[in-house]
Structure 1
């Protein structure tokens, strides 16, 4: 592990609905000096992969040491404002295929996209790099890309996207991918049972529309559902249960307002559009999510852990079916903007801090 180590025994943060949770945990800094780390993946041999938004893929070895040289072989990354290198995710059949999926911003300031590649990792280099998906059309500016990936049991994957910020009206337009979640086969092609495959003019990859900026998405195996959160405007962050062909409303319905305070829509509900399961007002700025399944914190098993930038916390959310039954604020005492939260193979929780000197922090219980 890194020489910089926090061995602080602390109390879990404020319980928002059911009082203070009495469990304890310890934290340690696994890696530091990362330029806005964005995503973390665990290799079967004990190593970890971590993306830096600036466009570097880094390896943390099985002893917990950050390799100085970044992984070679990435395509050109467009890095500006929110644009950069996003998710790294292992194929669920990684032991057989050896394949990674990586999302990133590609193109130029005047014409850029969210892109997705498939590749293999050999030594410290990506090989067999293949672009399998690119958002259409190109957009201008460096905001709202989405980028989170979840794998489904039918060998497809879903990729959360953003509305491009200044293109928000396009989230209601099925002729482009902006403001949607797409479902893809592992080679990037559109499954024939996608909801809009046979609709003239619609992009066949689209799975849902009316999404603002999907930065957390997981598949809940126990309940056979896709759960995603959207980084909303000023107020109006959401958790949604994603179903094929559904419209999640943005920007026709929202609980938030523009950053200037201007009204985006007078409607919080509308016929034919889905209501959020959870809504945060004021915004917490959700940025990542894991469905906790582990024995280290058994009292959280089955709960969603949502990393937050503005709130500088991880929000634990418990759902019963489609109903929110509990929330709790965790790790707020660390004072960090959290970009991502992951469940480790041993049940520990890993946090990525959004900073120029970002860290990977492991939260564990002896």
Structure 2
């Protein structure tokens, strides 16, 4: 059995690494399973993708489609054309995609049109927000996939409502959590730790990249000033996503507590997150990591495709109104933030369950 593993953007690498490690374990036992790692090139900045191969122990990709940037349509078309050409030259038995980025949808479509089966890791998650490109990617990918690996009972329910047969759904857990557990002891102290003399639980981490938060200058300024005004003098560490950096360049926001830095590697970023007093973000994946590490998390979005991080974990949805930040910060600093728990099957064994299911399926 030959499986194509698709990775293109930062979250994909954390999700795919445990699967590769498990496939390699099976191969050492003599199981007839092969993989081809396809890097679509969706993220082409080294801090956004390149260092992940080294830090997560990933082999270098067998193929890099070098899709680069561009609009949603441009990127989708470049990935589809590149992957289709590869499959025509050298077919696979299965295309395994992870998450909900453009690469996920584009490779699923290219494979399915060539009658190659598609497996979707993180199938069934939904935010209900069609303004998010990721939501469209999820819906399209799930509509054509043959087998689904889910992170929660909610995702299972979403797929069943969509009409997916129950025997195609495997509730396996979360491969991003596999990566976090496998690498937690290897977290690396970033330079900013010593440069700013940071101390455990005495600083905040922030990330922002959603169009609803960063594309409009006035909105971004209001959000950032609301956060800065509530830091109580603690440093606010802000690794700036390339998308956000373009807008910030014209805003000239400055404050003694605000420290805007370049994107960090996976091991460095999670070193900061694990020791932070809280994280303020609009990322879905970070809410999963804070849940496992027990770090308070404030999400600047109206909805989430990962409701278990709110109902079980340490995450709370604040929405995108800057007025919601002060009350949340007040609860944080008064010690009233919820403790949170760990969702079912977030135990580090998700990749093992996925590979065992694949061996049964094909």
What TM-score do the two structures reach when normalised by structure 2?
Answer: 0.29
Higher helix share: 2
Higher strand share: 1
